[in-house]
Amino acid sequence: MAKRQVRILVGAQWGDEGKGRVVDVLAKDIDVVVRYQGGANAGHTVVVGDEKHVFHLLPSGMLYKDCTCVIGNGVVIDPDQLMKELADLTSSPHRSAAKLIVSYAAHIVMPYHKLLDAMGERARNKSAVGAPIGTTGKGIGPCYVDKYNRLGIRAEDLTSPNILEQKLRLNLEEKNPVIEKVYEGDPYAFDELYETALEWGRFLKPYLADSTLAIDEAYEAGKGILFEGAQGTLLDIDHGTYPFVTSSSCVAGGANIGGAVGPGRVDRVIGVAKAYCTRVGEGPFMTENHGEIGDRLRTAGAEFGATTGRPRRCGWLDLAALSYAVKVNGINVIALTKLDVLSGLDTLRVCTAYRIDGKEYSVCPNSTIMSDLAELVYREFTPWQANIEKCRDFNELPEEAREYVRFIEEFCGVPVGLIGVGPGREDTIFRGL
Ligand code: IMP
């Protein structure tokens, strides 16, 4: 059993920072991995040997047989996706015996949530005044809307035919007229959906538990617990580039709510950041590069969405945004991924400030309107040419790469405890997380 350490792992940019692989590196120190927000919009890639696993809903600890994985109350669950991921794992040679717990209180993504997600995006696309968000289409926003509107169907409801019937009827009374009249779609038939939901309930029942209690028991027993954030700080509903965000609290504080861990119990917050920036979907991305550099980063970094396959927008590291993430999450240490992707460039820059109305902000403001007006201040670095994939110690890196990493540490005021130098599990410089 690992020594008691409660850590939160959080994306420090727009998601896709490589959180799954950091969980993998930390696995030996962890007994319990908890997902606390988001749903199947996430795509956490873990590479083991020649095999690549992409987890959407399951916590990334599922590959470890001694681990307990928890889908916390703050997650929204698409049961079909969960069934598929569990089935895929069973057929893998790295078949996991990890125990899975699903919170009674997690909300269920219903088929009408996915439909409303797609229809909402289509309407915003067509509207003369509406900007589409570029959602993953997984029904995340509409599901959280129902949760906060107190209409949501929770995992436990699927196992209670009477409650399920009442909630589903109420939901269809509300959704069907919108689907028919506003979006000109076909209404949902109660019977079919009800049978499907009962089937999901039968499937989920063995996994359902009070995750709050399970996490508390693990804590009291002195276990190593990791709260695995999905998406990233700049996609957070409150702290991200609103409205171009997801509908959940991706920041470290989200773990207190969606993972049921009291703030006083948390030892450490690990922020995962790429050595450059990427974003999928619409919305501000100040350092985005539409030219050769952006293309080069996309190709070298294989920057295509793990969930939707969409090409990611790419650009320079934005340290004003990363500093913001360090502050908002209370990050103690940074895991810096994909440093190898920067090898062999002709130019190398990072953004160090947003200049707005003549004033320089080294921490970007939580204001989409202000950021839109910003002129960026950049610092140039000397690029390194050597392939760094085989480096396993910080001192083996070329001096230019070390200077890049040291500058990030000084700028953000926290150490870089892990450096990703290649796609494989072993392609890591570990300095302590
Ligand atoms: P939604 O979460 O599907 O509602 O999408 C809202 C925004 O968040 C879109 O711009 C998506 O591309 C983005 N997004 C959602 N999940 C992820 C993720 O796991 N990685 C990166 N972007 C994401």
Query: Which positions are annotated as active-site residues?
Result: 16, 44
- Quick one: tokens of 373? 């007006």
Residue 374's alpha-carbon distances to 38, 214, 292, 361, 411, in angstroms, are: 30, 46, 23, 9, 20
**Is 265 strand, coil or helix?**
helix
Give the atom of ligand 1 at the shortest distance from the alpha carbon of 44.
19
Say if ligand 1 is within 6 A of residue 37 CB.
Answer: no
DSSP string for 187-234: PPPHHHHHHHHHHHHHHHGGGEE-HHHHHHHHHHTT-EEEEE--S-GG
Q: What is the DSSP string of 346-385?
A: S-EEEEEEEEETTEEESS--S-HHHHHT-EEEEEEE----
Instruction: Judge contact between 122 and 72, C-beta under 8 A.
Output: no
Q: For residue 288, give every residue at least 6 positions away whose Cβ sits within 8 Å of its Cβ, in sequence order, or none.
A: 277, 279, 294, 313, 314, 315
Question: Hey, which of 114, 233, 246, 337 would you mutate to test ligand 1's pocket, going by the most ligand atoms within 8 Å of its Cβ?
Answer: 246
CA distance 320 to 326: 10
What is the percentage of the chain residues whose pLDDT exceeds 70? 98
Neighbours of 337 (CB within 10 A): 25
Binned at pLDDT 50, 70 and 90, residue 309 comes out as: confident
pLDDT (tens digit per residue) in 350-393? 999 999 999 999 999 999 888 889 999 999 999 999 999 999 99
Give residue 4's pLDDT band: very low, low, confident or very high (50, 70, 90).
Answer: confident
Closest ligand 1 atom, residue 308 Cα: 12
Q: How far is the CA of 76 from the centre of ligand 1 (A)?
A: 14
Does residue 47 register a pLDDT over 90?
no
- What is the rounded CA–CA span in Å between residue 92 and residue 62? 12
Query: Does 107-206 match 6-99+210-430 at the fold level?
Result: no
Give the pLDDT confidence of 320-340 residue by residue, as tens digits: 999 999 999 999 999 999 999
* Residue 388 to residue 400: CA distance in whole angstroms: 12
Topology of the domain comprising 6-99+210-430: Adenylosuccinate Synthetase; Chain A, domain 3 (3.90.170)
Of 55-64, 127-136, 212-221, 416-425, highest mean pLDDT: 212-221
Cβ atoms of 8 and 72 within 8 Å: the answer is no
Q: In the predicted model, is pLDDT for residue 307 greater than 70?
A: yes
Whose C-alpha lies nearest to ligand 1, atom 19? 42
CATH number given to 107-206: 1.10.300.10
Q: Are 369 and 291 in contact (CB under 8 A)?
A: no
pLDDT in tens, 100-156: 999 999 999 999 999 999 999 999 999 888 889 999 999 999 999 999 999 999 999
Backbone phi, then psi, for 48, in 5-degree steps?
Answer: -125, 115
Which whole-number Å values give the CA distances from 69 to 65, 190, 213, in the listed order? 10, 33, 14
Q: What are the domain boundaries of the chain? A: 6-99+210-430, 107-206
Q: Whose CA is nearest to atom 16 of ligand 1?
A: 41
Helix axes 111-126, 140-148, angle to 10 degrees: 110
CA 285 to chain centre: 17
* Tokens of residue 63, six digits: 């590959």
Sheet of 224-228: strand order equals 208-209, 99-103, 68-71, 32-35, 224-228, 5-11, 268-274, 333-337, 416-420, 428-430
Ligand 1 near 43 CB (within 6 A) = yes
pLDDT for residue 91: 78
Per-residue confidence band for 49, with pLDDT thresholds at 50, 70 and 90: low
